[in-house]
A = this chain, B = another copy of it.
Amino acid sequence: MLLDSIATPASPSGEPAGTEQEQLVIATYLIETAFSLEAAAEVIAGEQSCGTFVDVPGETAELKARHGAKVMDIQPLETVDHPSLEGATVPRSAKGKARFQRGTVRIAFPLRNFGPSIPNLLTTVAGNLFEVQQLSGVRLIDLDLPAPFAERYAGPAFGIEGTRRLAGVHGRPLIGTIIKPSVGLTVDQARPLVRELAMAGLDFAKDDELNGNAPYAPLKDRVRGVMDEINRAADKTGKKMMYAFNITGDIDEMRRGHDLVRDSGGTCVMVAINSVGFAGLSYLRQHAELPIHGHRAMYGALARCSMLGIGFTAYQKICRLAGVDHLHVGGLDSKFYQSNAEVRQSILDCLEPLFSGYRVMPAISSAQWAGSAIETYAQTKTIDVLHLAGGGIIAHPGGVAGGVRSMQQGWEAAMAGKGLLEYAASRQELRSAIQKFAPRQSTK
């Protein structure tokens, strides 16, 4: 959903926040209500700006005009017989025979109410409104932010171009893996695997999101052991594999983790965004000298109920603003709930320029293997992705070198416009991958 020009007024970009010029945050919601869409939208606008459940002294016309959120646009969608969420009220007149109208509404919040602050933006556009009784569905689906946000938050420091430069990969996707088993490998057990991956010419590897700073493989030991393997392989092959160390943790711990990776010659850090929070993420970005690989674990809790929460188009904008360079988007035919259409849209969202034009590298993951390349490329027509296959590389019948080669062959086929079977005919690694990983018919 494209938002019109009101969201980005043609103001000099250096203008400080809080001047008299009206600068707006425009939030787009998918809502459902037994009341009129107009009335429901006004409840959100009131609840999230000056209003409360009764009029109060001091809530003057001037104050409302200056600080009230305004409903900009309403687009009706279908009606349904049953409320999507619990605890919704219905008009007394409709009791027992209420229908629930869906629609999208755009609401403009004056930036002066909260200033260009990600945490306070969240409280405003994604705060108490999810609890409003008059709504039986409410989901933030898009956000349009004015220039002062870009002045306060720098966005990704590396993005796609910076990642390509550090990884030395151009003209094709980055191919990567996740160290598996996700949990339980000691550093000494992980070293041979890292060695094989790096020697096989893999572009990127990462810790699993579950593998933070665990007692059995503390980050400091992992960084030492993994970087030792990567550097030794680089000495032989001339290619230094990028490795995203999972530094998810408390604020100071995360910063120390970043510095440790940097000082050890590492080229990427990873955080579970929702586990550290957006304030934690932007704090890391402020100090980061390495690309930040953003994992979205827990995002399903915010997104899987389609009439509640925060849609990915809005979510990824906040992630980018807060500073991630790579962002997980799921994967086609994955082990997770999303449809392929949603995954496709998520990839495209990440590639849509924001503010100064920055993009973020979509990290495609979950049940991916060599054959996933064909459909991923067909659906998105982009090579600006980081394609992660965990089991799809590590469990390959030809070993991890075979797994890496099969992924490369999958992308060669995709980019050459060849069919998977056709391309596999003369390529053993791809054939083995098909035999082992080609999915059974989907039952979703």
Which residues of A does B touch, CB under 8 Å? 17-18, 47-59, 63-64, 66-67, 85-92, 95, 112-115, 117-120, 122-124, 126-133, 178, 180-185, 189, 193, 209-210, 212-216, 248-254, 272, 274-280, 282-283, 295, 297-302, 304-306, 308-310, 330, 335-339, 366-367, 390-392, 394-395, 436-437, 442-444
Contact = CB atoms under 8 A, between A and B. Distances in A.
A279 B305 contact: no
Contacts of A215: 17-18, 112, 115
Given A86-B304, A338-B87, A18 B128 contact: no
A337 B282 CA distance: 32
Given A18-B215, A113-B210, 14 more contacts: A18-B214, A51-B182, A56-B181, A59-B180, A66-B184, A67-B184, A67-B216, A85-B304, A86-B306, A89-B442, A91-B443, A127-B272, A131-B337, A133-B444
Contacts of A209: 123, 127-128
A436 B53 CA distance: 12
A368 B136 CA distance: 22
Contacts of A253: 117
Contacts of A392: 54
A324 to B, nearest CB: 14
Chain A residues touching B, majority SS: loop
B336 A128 contact: yes
B305 A119 contact: no
A426 to B, nearest CB: 25
Contact of A210 (B49, B54, B189, B213): B49
A323 B115 CA distance: 27
A335 B53 contact: yes
Nearest to A296: B128
Contacts of A248: 117, 119-120, 123
A339 B131 CA distance: 11
9 contacts: A52-B178, A67-B216, A87-B339, A123-B272, A127-B209, A130-B300, A131-B304, A276-B277, A301-B302
A339 B275 CA distance: 29
A196 to B, nearest CB: 11
A275 B122 contact: yes
A279 B280 contact: yes
Contact of A337 (B47, B124, B132): B132
A184 B63 contact: yes
Contacts of A54: 391-392, 395, 436-437
A301 B183 contact: no
A22 B284 CA distance: 33
B49 A183 contact: yes
A297 B133 CA distance: 15
A250 B118 contact: yes
Contact of A301 (B130, B251, B330): B130
Nearest to A322: B250
Nearest to A90: B443
A250 B117 CA distance: 7
A309 B251 CA distance: 24
